[in-house]
Chain A
Amino acid sequence: MPELPFPLPSVQQVIFVLIAGLMILGALTVVLARNLFHSALGLVAAFFGAAGLYLVAEAEFIGVSQVLVYVGAISTLITFAIMLTRGMMFGATSPRNRQSGTAAMITLLAFVVLWALVSTIPWPQAGEAIGDGEAIIAGLGRAFVNEYVVPFQLLAMLLLVALAGAIVLARDRK
């Protein structure tokens, strides 16, 4: 076998690049599609890509939860909202408006900040200490009722408030 000028990518790397490509495509569809429903579908593709990335990182629980929550619930909700909005469902709407430039700049800034953060933080290497998935789920559950019980309950509270607020806003006022 002749020596290659660069090291062969591992399987994980190839899969990562494929999934990342899918996510970027999906994200671009969300921003650039002229049809809102296509944007929603692009969002679903991006969510799927995120789930795939979790699977590549061997975090099956989070990956599957991602599909369950984002693809199953949130995307359906968004699609419903788009479909029930008159005039948005059919026909093209331009994705551009006067704030496109500002939005692009802020997005770029956010990307740079995130990139700088991710590349400078010394991430802890878990290695073999994680154990099998069963232990992870059990540990996650235990953390939710011990260490993180207050944030967890606060999040639930937030969702409840948002739900009640949406109902109050949407109520038919006489």
Chain B
Amino acid sequence: MNWSDTLIQLQYDLGAPQELSWLVEGITFFVGAFVLANAALVLALLLIWITRKVVSRIQDRIGPNRLGPFGLFQTVADAVKLLSKEDIKPTTADTPSYLLAPVLSVMGVLMALAVLPIGAGLIGTDLNIGVLYLVALGSLGIMAALMAGWGSNNKYALLAGFRVVAQLLSYEIPMVLAMLAPVLLIGTMSMQGLVQAQSFFLGPVNLGVGWFVFLLPGAFLIYFIAALAEAEQTPFDLLEAESELIAGFHIEYSGMKFAMFFLAQFLNSFFLGAIAVTLFLGGWQGPFAGQIPLLGPIYFLAKTFLVYVVIQWIKGTFPRVRIDQMMGFAWKVLVPLVLALILAQMVILKLPLPLWINYLLVLAANLAVVATVLNIMGNYFQSEQIRSKRAFEPKSLIGTMQPVQSSSGD
């Protein structure tokens, strides 16, 4: 039973006339959208708190701990502060694009909520093209960044806007192709269909652990890396680079408009994690989720928050990449690999073999992709390490390929 059917039935039971069905449906979807959108805004406060706590623990600090239990209300206070700040608009700014950009940025992120399956019947609308819908939403964020960068009438904001578009467009391709892997496997783009395909029956009991990540680890890895870049998270947060760029394309925004960009960014990393959970980590599937429907949303949220914490963990530990490294990694490593992976998967799935052999071959191809990505990254980091050590060598040694003699005295 879908939540919307339940709500529609409730309204008819309360005495809504049958001939006003369009109004009843309208009210239903308005209520759903209203609840989801506002829940997302409250969620953002929690997300910012988690980020602060996780990152400060990694940095051997305590993090916010004064306001409310565990400092939970610190972000609420910050939000109130941002709301009450003076709203500054540069006099030379291009008014329509300057004002529309933050709205568009939040809108593009919030619209993802419409197709996220939170529980068995808990999905805004189960579009049969759910995955494609999510892909299309990414373009709204790109437009928002361009409008903000251009509308601010600041050359630094404009340049940062270009960088945002370059990064988002480059990483959209591997992300979309990686999202295609589970779609190809079961042949549906409906989010609920994808989640239901990840069940695992042991006799009559659905253990819900047939996650695609076990079959498609390569696609998951590529999706996760690309999603980090799409969410502008470390190690791909050079667009934001708080210490150098002062947040790039939204440099001219203050107060509530700045808060909206901030909100969009936090919610985006959460939702990209939620998409990862839906496509690869079983969504709301889990042991006994079929018997007790309440467990579905709990599993979904638990997994998503776990992915979010992992993203923050990466934020706390990884260094930031340079822009040439970032672009090179997308176009020279991720795109060819994911193209090869998708091609291999399509060919393998069409081979006239027993299904389990097909799946084994797909798994082998994915493991090869994982090994290649890790190998390339390992080699690259090693050479970078040698290079950065060389930078501190005496000038006379440069070019001689000789390691520095360690002085044995100390």
Taken together as a complex, chains A and B put the C-alpha atoms of A104 and B97 apart, in Å, by 28
| B362 touches A (CB below 8 Å) | no
Q: A72-B136, A72-B139, A83-B158 are in contact. Are A41 and B147 (CB under 8 A)?
A: yes
Chain B nearest CB: distance from A86 CB in Å? 13
| A106 touches B (CB below 8 Å) | no
Q: A60-B129, A80-B165 are in contact. Are A67 and B139 (CB under 8 A)?
A: yes
CB proximity to B under 8 Å, residues A49-74 = 60-61, 64-65, 67-68, 71-73
Choose, from A93-101, A112-120, A129-137, A156-164, the stretch at the interface: A129-137
Taken together as a complex, chains A and B put the C-alpha atoms of A155 and B135 apart, in Å, by 23
* Contact of B189 with A137 in the complex, beta carbons under 8 Å: yes
Chain B residues positioned under 8 Å from A89 (CB to CB):
150
* Contact of B188 with A38 in the complex, beta carbons under 8 Å: no
Partner of A134, one of B128, B139, B143, B153: B128
Q: Nearest residue in B to A135 (C-beta to C-beta)?
A: B128
Chain B residues positioned under 8 Å from A167 (CB to CB):
none
Q: A80-B165, A134-B188 are in contact. Are A64 and B147 (CB under 8 A)?
A: no
* Contact of B169 with A60 in the complex, beta carbons under 8 Å: no
Q: A38-B96, A83-B150, A134-B190 are in contact. Are A64 and B165 (CB under 8 A)?
A: no
Q: A41-B147, A83-B150 are in contact. Are A61 and B142 (CB under 8 A)?
A: no
Q: Nearest residue in A to B134 (C-beta to C-beta)?
A: A64
* Contact of B139 with A71 in the complex, beta carbons under 8 Å: yes
Chain A residues positioned under 8 Å from B165 (CB to CB):
76, 80
* Contact of B96 with A41 in the complex, beta carbons under 8 Å: yes
Q: Nearest residue in B to A72 (C-beta to C-beta)?
A: B139
| A103 touches B (CB below 8 Å) | no
Chain B nearest CB: distance from A116 CB in Å? 34
Q: Nearest residue in B to A66 (C-beta to C-beta)?
A: B136
Chain B residues positioned under 8 Å from A90 (CB to CB):
153
Chain B residues positioned under 8 Å from A60 (CB to CB):
127-129, 133
Chain A nearest CB: distance from B189 CB in Å? 7
Chain A residues positioned under 8 Å from B153 (CB to CB):
90
Taken together as a complex, chains A and B put the C-alpha atoms of A137 and B187 apart, in Å, by 10
| B356 touches A (CB below 8 Å) | no
| B138 touches A (CB below 8 Å) | yes
Q: Nearest residue in A to B145 (C-beta to C-beta)?
A: A76
Chain A nearest CB: distance from B346 CB in Å? 12
CB proximity to B under 8 Å, residues A1-50 = 10-11, 35, 37-38, 41, 44
| B194 touches A (CB below 8 Å) | no
Q: Nearest residue in A to B138 (C-beta to C-beta)?
A: A72
CB proximity to B under 8 Å, residues A133-169 = 133-134, 137-138
Task: Encode B133-161 as 1/0 by CB contact (under 8 A) with A.
Answer: 10110111011001100100100001000
Chain A nearest CB: distance from B92 CB in Å? 9
* Contact of B136 with A67 in the complex, beta carbons under 8 Å: yes
Chain B nearest CB: distance from A60 CB in Å? 5
Chain A nearest CB: distance from B19 CB in Å? 10
Taken together as a complex, chains A and B put the C-alpha atoms of A113 and B26 apart, in Å, by 38
* Contact of A61 with B132 in the complex, beta carbons under 8 Å: yes
Chain A residues positioned under 8 Å from B392 (CB to CB):
none
Q: Nearest residue in A to B176 (C-beta to C-beta)?
A: A68
CB proximity to A under 8 Å, residues B62-99 = 94, 96-97
Chain A residues positioned under 8 Å from B94 (CB to CB):
35, 37-38
Q: A60-B127, A76-B139, A134-B188 are in contact. Are A68 and B132 (CB under 8 A)?
A: yes
CB proximity to A under 8 Å, residues B86-131 = 94, 96-97, 127-129
* Contact of B129 with A76 in the complex, beta carbons under 8 Å: no
* Contact of A64 with B143 in the complex, beta carbons under 8 Å: no
Taken together as a complex, chains A and B put the C-alpha atoms of A60 and B125 apart, in Å, by 12
| B22 touches A (CB below 8 Å) | yes
Chain A residues positioned under 8 Å from B150 (CB to CB):
37, 79, 83, 89
Taken together as a complex, chains A and B put the C-alpha atoms of A35 and B94 apart, in Å, by 10
* Contact of B129 with A64 in the complex, beta carbons under 8 Å: yes
Chain A nearest CB: distance from B238 CB in Å? 20
* Contact of A68 with B135 in the complex, beta carbons under 8 Å: yes
Taken together as a complex, chains A and B put the C-alpha atoms of A73 and B172 apart, in Å, by 11
Chain A nearest CB: distance from B109 CB in Å? 15
* Contact of A61 with B129 in the complex, beta carbons under 8 Å: yes
Chain A residues positioned under 8 Å from B142 (CB to CB):
72, 76
Chain A residues positioned under 8 Å from B138 (CB to CB):
72
* Contact of B140 with A71 in the complex, beta carbons under 8 Å: yes
Q: Nearest residue in B to A29 (C-beta to C-beta)?
A: B96
Chain A residues positioned under 8 Å from B162 (CB to CB):
80, 83
Taken together as a complex, chains A and B put the C-alpha atoms of A38 and B138 apart, in Å, by 21
Q: Nearest residue in B to A68 (C-beta to C-beta)?
A: B136
Residue with the highest number of chain B CB atoms closer than 10 Å, among A64, A67, A132, A137: A64
* Contact of A76 with B146 in the complex, beta carbons under 8 Å: yes
Taken together as a complex, chains A and B put the C-alpha atoms of A64 and B134 apart, in Å, by 9
Q: A72-B139, A75-B143 are in contact. Are A137 and B129 (CB under 8 A)?
A: yes
Chain A nearest CB: distance from B263 CB in Å? 22
Chain A residues positioned under 8 Å from B129 (CB to CB):
60-61, 64, 133, 137
Listed in ascending order, the chain B residues whose CB lies under 8 Å from chain A are 22, 26, 94, 96-97, 127-129, 132-133, 135-136, 138-140, 142-143, 146-147, 150, 153, 158, 162, 165, 169, 172, 187-190
Known: A37-B150, A68-B136; 5 extra A-B contacts, CB below 8 A, are: A64-B136, A65-B132, A72-B139, A79-B150, A133-B129
